[in-house]
């Protein structure tokens, strides 16, 4: 037997959450990219591959994101 729903006239406790999502046009377009050849140490690549596997994402994407964050901080 299903549990009965009990309705009440008590006010609901709510909090307005600021919209933090980017607009749809920013979700579908890829940023301009330039292909480069880069030599990295075996240990750093192994680290990113291990982390990428754990988070189920491409390791190149993680490396790209680290570089983007670094560049934007010092821009």
Q: Quick one: which of 70, 45, 71, 73 has its CA closest to 60? A: 45
Give domain limits for the chain. Answer: 38-74
Distance of CA 3 to the CA centre of its chain: 39
CA dihedral 23, 27, 32, 34 (to 10 degrees): 150
Q: Say how many residues make up the chain.
A: 75
Rounded to two decimals, the pTM is 0.58
Question: Which pLDDT tens digit goes with each residue over 31-74?
Answer: 788 999 999 999 999 999 999 999 999 999 999 899 989 998 88
pLDDT digits (tens, 9 = 90+) for 3-12: 888 888 888 8
List helix spans (H) across 1-75: 24-28, 42-55, 59-74
């Amino acid at each position: 037997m299903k549990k009965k729903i009990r309705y009440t006239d008590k006010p609901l406790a709510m909090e307005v959450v600021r919209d933090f999502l980017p607009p749809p046009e920013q979700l579908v377009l890829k940023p301009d990219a330039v292909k480069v050849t880069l030599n990295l140490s075996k240990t750093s690549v192994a680290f990113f591959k291990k982390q990428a596997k754990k988070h189920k994402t491409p390791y190149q994407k993680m490396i790209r994101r680290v570089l983007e964050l670094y560049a934007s901080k010092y821009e």
